[in-house]
Amino acid sequence: MAGNKNSGRKAYAPTDEEREKVRVLKAGGMSNEAIAEAIGISEPTLSKHFLSDLEVGAAKVRADILMARYRSALGGNVSAQNKMLETAGAAQARDKRAPAPPKLGKKEQQALAAKNVGSKFSPPAPPKLVVSNT
């Protein structure tokens, strides 16, 4: 029948299990190509149906793991408590880093460059001497 609308392949519909798998595999550092292969779909299909999972999935997985560790720590798991303290300490150290120096404007960059570069009339650098006292 020429006008049969039911012929052809069914549209792909991702399952919740596949979405979770994509998030975990992305958080694990796998490439989109490898994730698509692991699920059994093409990369374009992966990009079309799992865009959100690919973009923010790794952050969601990390947040879920941190929350699970936190609950375990509150429940008395000493290893989880130590890991939470270690994670919190690393985050505090990142927050206390020295702020980046302010960006210089073009004129300040040119003035600084002029100070650091000698002209053709400046005295030459002294020669490097190699001395051996042995």
* Residue 33's pLDDT band (cuts 50, 70, 90): very high
Q: From 23, 25, 29, select the one nearest 53 (Cα to Cα).
A: 23
pLDDT at 1: 47
Beta strands in the chain (DSSP E): none
- Residue 44 inside a domain? The answer is yes
Position 37 in a domain: yes
Q: How confident is the model at residue 115 (pLDDT cuts 50, 70, 90)?
A: confident
87: in domain? yes
Distance CA 47, CA 49 (A): 6
Number of domains in the chain: 1
Q: What is the mean pLDDT of the chain?
A: 84
Please tell me the total number of residues recorded for the chain in this structure: 134
Closest of 88, 71, 89 to residue 80, by C-alpha: 71
Q: Using alpha carbons only, give the angle 55, 58, 61 rounded to the nearest 5 degrees.
A: 135
Determine, yes or no, domain membership for 11: no
32 within domain boundaries? yes
- Where does the pLDDT of residue 30 fall: very low under 50, low under 70, confident under 90, or very high at 90 and above? very high
Average pLDDT score over residue span 34-52 = 94
In a domain? residue 129: no
Mean of pLDDT values over 46-64: 92
Is 57 within a domain?
A: yes
Note whether residue 58 is domain-resident. yes
pTM exceeds 0.75, yes or no = no
Using alpha carbons, list the distances in angstroms from residue 8 to 1, 5, 15: 13, 8, 21
Least confident of 22-26, 69-73, 89-93: 89-93
Give residue 114's pLDDT band: very low, low, confident or very high (50, 70, 90): confident
Q: What is the pLDDT of residue 118?
A: 66
Kindly state the average pLDDT of the residues 20-33.
94
Residue 76 pLDDT exceeds 70: yes
Q: Which domain holds residue 69?
A: 16-95
| Rounded-to-integer distance, Cα 83 and Cα 97, Å | 22
